[in-house]
Amino acid sequence: MHTFVKRKQRGWVENEDLIPYKKKSTDELKSLLSSEKPFERTISAKLLLLNCDKTNILLDALVNESALYTRLAITEKLESGDSATAQKMLPFLAKIGKNQHHSPVSPSKKSSFPLPRDLIARSLGRMNPEIFPTLLDAATQLPNVKLRELIDAIGYMVFYNPCLATTKNYQLLLEIKESYKTDVLIQWKILICFSAFPQSKELLQKETQFVSEAQRSLKILETKKGVFQN
């Protein structure tokens, strides 16, 4: 089968594909989100204007969406949202897909922050850093299974927005670490998250449970020296 046809079946669209649909009403576009044709679902995600109602519709569609490019279009639209959008995304953490970590793994050999494996955590981490207070607030309220994924989003956002690596934000995450001592995944993920916080060096040097992960975070911090701001 031709490569282009395969991509179309996975929801791929070109810019010119959007043109015939731009005059459709909001109701028509919402209806297309349930189309049997993946590329039409992608077009719907790209053209729908994001607001409270559309956020709910897109999230519900994302739960069952299987076409790669349609999923990407939906998450990209969600990532363009604000704190209100992020608030609606939080309940979907650890709910979409089965790619989340269920136990610690060997440290990544990459020098960048690991891309969150949870789809919603990945999108939250890529949003405008203005939503960061929303993420921190949620970190003190979410159940363990969702908090594990949120920590990935927080670390990812801070790593690529060093201005967020403040002592105040670090202290809040440190409190979370202390509060979840029996949750192995949270302890492990916090160490990864701390690769974005220069304040964590002393703690990482004293780590005894996940030594290799702590060493990786220390190495990253050394590489990023001079980039951080307090």
Q: Are residues 153 and 214 part of one domain?
A: yes
| Residue 104 falls inside a structural domain | no
Amino acid at 75: T
Mean pLDDT in residue range 110-116: 91
Residue 78 has pLDDT above 80, yes or no: yes
| Residue 22 falls inside a structural domain | yes
Res 138: pLDDT: 97
H-only helix segments in the chain:
3-9, 15-18, 26-32, 38-47, 52-64, 68-79, 83-89, 119-126, 132-139, 144-160, 167-179, 184-193, 201-205, 211-223
pTM to 2 decimals?
A: 0.94
156: tokens are 């990812």
130: tokens are 């203005």
**CA pair distance 52, 122, nearest whole angstrom:** 20
Number of domains in the chain: 2
The average confidence (pLDDT) of the chain is 94
Mean pLDDT in residue range 58-80: 97
Q: How confident is the model at residue 115 (pLDDT cuts 50, 70, 90)?
A: very high
Other C-beta atoms closer than 10 Å to the C-beta of 162 total: 17
| Residue 207 falls inside a structural domain | yes
| Residue 216 falls inside a structural domain | yes
| Residue 92 falls inside a structural domain | no
**CA pair distance 116, 123, nearest whole angstrom:** 9
Residue 117 has pLDDT above 60, yes or no: yes
Domain final position from 54, 80, 106 = 80
Residue 224 has pLDDT above 90, yes or no: no
Domain final position from 29, 60, 80 = 80
What are 154-190's pLDDT values in tens digits? 999 999 999 999 999 999 999 999 999 999 999 999 9
| Residue 85 falls inside a structural domain | no
Q: How confident is the model at residue 109 (pLDDT cuts 50, 70, 90)?
A: confident
Q: Are residues 124 and 65 part of one domain?
A: no
Amino acid at 164: L
DSSP-based three-state secondary structure for 78: helix
Percent of the chain surpassing pLDDT 90: 90
| Residue 99 falls inside a structural domain | no
